Structure 1
Amino acid sequence: MAAAGGHIQHLRDEATCSICLDYFKDPVTIPECGHNFCRSCLIQCWGESEAEASCPQCRERVQRRSLIPNRQLANVVEIAKNLSLQEGKEEGGKGGVCEDHQEPLKLFCKEDEAPICVVCDRSKEHKHHEVIPLKEAFEEYKGEICRHLEILRKEREEILAYQAALDKECKDLLKLTETERLKTVEKFRELRQFLEAQEKRLLTHMEEVEKEIAGRRDEQLARLSRNLSSLERIIQEMEEKSQQPASELLQVRWWQEQPKAPGKGCPFHVCKECRG
């Protein structure tokens, strides 16, 4: 009997909400961690905030809309309630009697789910009901509870296994994302190095071109300056000759003796490069 009482107490614990410390009312399961609570207790605990919620028992982050109604647990709660009532009456079995007939409560009516006495069993109220010995009812209910508990434990294990698989998948994806991020950073680093090298090479080439252009310009300007000085000198000499008397001017015809087609030695020759 002590062992049976321990099983019933364990059943009460399984059927009790950890928030209100009473039997579950409209029990729901949090799929992320597998813990069960009264729906109203969770709503009251989380409040009306739309922020991400957490399990009151293990603090696992959960989605508010992912709650799963647990009908099998609700059935277990009803069984636990009946067994608790039955245990109380059976405890009084040493002195527990039927209120109507003052007979010991030794039988159990399965239709009414209540203990009865032998007089009640013969009454019209229970005439066509299935009635079994109270001890047999206890063992039957105990077996049913154990079956329900086994189902609940399997469901919990499945949820925990799903949670572990989901967590592993998320970690694998995060690891893959981190690898791709590092690859992207490395590729752009190499690209920046390449572009910087190209920029440096092109700027150096442009500086060399600018120096070459400046050198050619200075060379052309120097040549033009020399030619211009030569022309200025010749023009000055010719202007001076043109001011001389006719007798002297006619005697000096050196300028007519110059080649008709100016060449590189001609004072009037301007090189093609200078003209260009």
Structure 2
Amino acid sequence: MESGLSQAFQEELICFICRSYLTDPVTISCGHSFCRACLHLSWEDSLLPVQCPTCREPCQQKDFRTSTVLKNLVSIARQASLMKYLSSEEHKCVTHKETKGIFCMENRIYLCRLCSDSHEHRSHRHCPVEAAAEGQMERLLKQMESIWNKIQENDENLETEKTMITLWKNCLILREEMIRAEYRTCYPDLSEQEEEHIECMKEEGNYYLEKLMESEAMIVQKGKQLRDMYQELMAMSQEPYVVLLQDFDDIFRRSESMQMIMPLSMNPELYVLAFGLLGENFN
């Protein structure tokens, strides 16, 4: 009976989307709960109202507060799994036959109480394994939030660039029509000069169009890199605490480095310059 209750309790802490323990759980309007990251990715390209992945009930918002109660319950369950793993005979301290309940922050290894007080580890920073695991999870969640915000920022820049490319193409078409109309009205005998004028205008205009398209390609590539990193962090967050306490400094460094340089939409001053050059050609 107790085992059945424990299994039923743990099942309530599982995300319907990823089938792992809820990570940074949020509860949507219909009452179902999911990992925040799972909802982000599930609803990313959907317009409001979005649908609950479980019951398909419409939902009018995409952002929710973390469910503190669920988060605490998941933390208790994950800590219990960690301690059960460390308390097994095969993972106890070989020397002292004690549970390795202390984590050495320098060497990133599990220690029993006596080993942590040994000459080898005495000067190192230690903390209970549960606290170390929770700290690593919070560090991970902050990185995920930061990456997600960069994804949104990058998407906004991409939309700006796409809009500008469309406007720019329309501008070139309109500018050509205006030049041809001007020559037909004022200089009907200068057809050769008309074509030269249009060719010059197109050359200038296509230069900036090419820059815009290069900028768009860079933003698209950055978006892919950010999403790949987000999914890598997400997969890491779903690992058991015993795995989460391994050395993941490399992934954190890569995550932070990736956010330092973000491609921006083309400098507005270049637009002004481009329009000015086209205007000079027309005059």
TM-score by length of 1: 0.37
The structure, 1 or 2, with the larger RCO (C-alpha pairs under 8 Å, 6+ apart) is 2
Q: Please identify the structure whose Cα radius of gyration is greater.
A: 1
TM-score by length of 2: 0.36
